[in-house]
A and B are shown apart, each in its own frame.
Chain A
Amino acid sequence: GAGVSQSPSNKVTEKGKDVELRCDPISGHTALYWYRQSLGQGLEFLIYFQGNSAPDKSGLPSDRFSAERTGGSVSTLTIQRTQQEDSAVYLCASSSRGAGNVSYEQYFGPGTRLTVT
């Protein structure tokens, strides 16, 4: 079946502009995660959605970052007033939910490479 898809694959934007990154999870997966991969910081968790529960935003680096998930499926990560340090690959992952509020393995999309000039 189809895996996790992300768009765009590459995005170049000017400092100060807003960007939106999109993630389509695997059909039927209830959990969705955003991570950021950058040279200086490695792979960092950003935000997590699980069903109708309030998202875990504990990894968002600043209030310029936000994300939403509509209809329990597609998610959009928005970065406002982009800065050069936001340049990174943004990875989305999804997983099915197991018993006891624990999610199983996460399947990753190919990522969006964001470059802020």
Chain B
Amino acid sequence: AQSVTQPDIHITVSEGASLELRCNYSYGATPYLFWYVQSPGQGLQLLLKYFSGDTLVQGIKGFEAEFKRSQSSFNLRKPSVHWSDAAEYFCAVGARFTGTASKLTFGTGTRLQVTL
């Protein structure tokens, strides 16, 4: 069964500082990987995804993530955080090949707080 671990429950960074949110996955093959962001009272918005090809993927709002097969990781990064980035971030894995469904398995989320 697939699983996702986000080891950091809560992270606080200063505005303008760099950010890295960690994500480790467990899956029998190369998975589909996603990062979603959720602002308070809102649904999930897709930040970026990895399906294949270049292991460094660019997303919206200046975010990027790097797929590292050897480390089973898909960490999210941003060089300079803005106050509006404060939210909860979820890493998710989807089955690459399945005869039924590519349901997503989510990590427990990392809450990002940005100080001014």
Binding site for B on A (CB under 8 A): 4, 31, 33, 35, 42-43, 45, 48, 50, 56, 59, 91, 93, 95, 100-111
Determine if B42 and A105 form an interchain contact, defined as CB atoms under 8 angstroms apart: no
Taking the complex as formed, is B70 at the interface, i.e. its CB lies under 8 A from any CB of chain A?
Answer: no
Provide the residues of chain B in CB contact with A45, threshold 8 Å. 103-105
Q: Which residue of A lies closest to B36 (CB)?
A: A108
Q: How far is the CA of A100 from the CA of B96 in the complex (A)?
A: 10
B44 within 8 A of A: yes
Check A50–B101 contact: CB distance below 8 A: yes
- Sampled A-B contacts (30; CB under 8 Å): A33-B101, A33-B103, A33-B104, A43-B90, A43-B104, A43-B106, A45-B103, A45-B104, A48-B100, A48-B101, A50-B101, A56-B103, A91-B43, A95-B102, A101-B97, A102-B32, A102-B95, A102-B97, A102-B102, A103-B102, A104-B51, A105-B46, A106-B46, A106-B104, A108-B36, A108-B43, A108-B45, A109-B43, A110-B42, A111-B43
Minimum distance in angstroms from B95 CB to a CB of chain A = 8
Minimum CB–CB distance from B63 to chain A (whole Å) comes to 15
B98 at the interface (CB under 8 A from A): yes
Contacts of A42 in B (CB 8 A): 106-109
Also in contact, A105 and B34, with CB within 8 A (given A42-B108, A110-B43): yes
Inter-chain contacts of B111 with A (CB < 8 A): none
Partner-A contacts on B (CB < 8 A)? 32, 34, 36, 42-46, 49, 51, 90, 92, 94-109
Q: A101-B98, A108-B44 are in contact. List 6 more A-B contacts (CB 8 A).
A: A42-B108, A45-B103, A48-B101, A50-B101, A91-B43, A102-B102
Question: Is the CB–CB distance between B96 and A56 below 8 Å?
Answer: no
A102–B32 Cα gap in the complex (Å)?
10
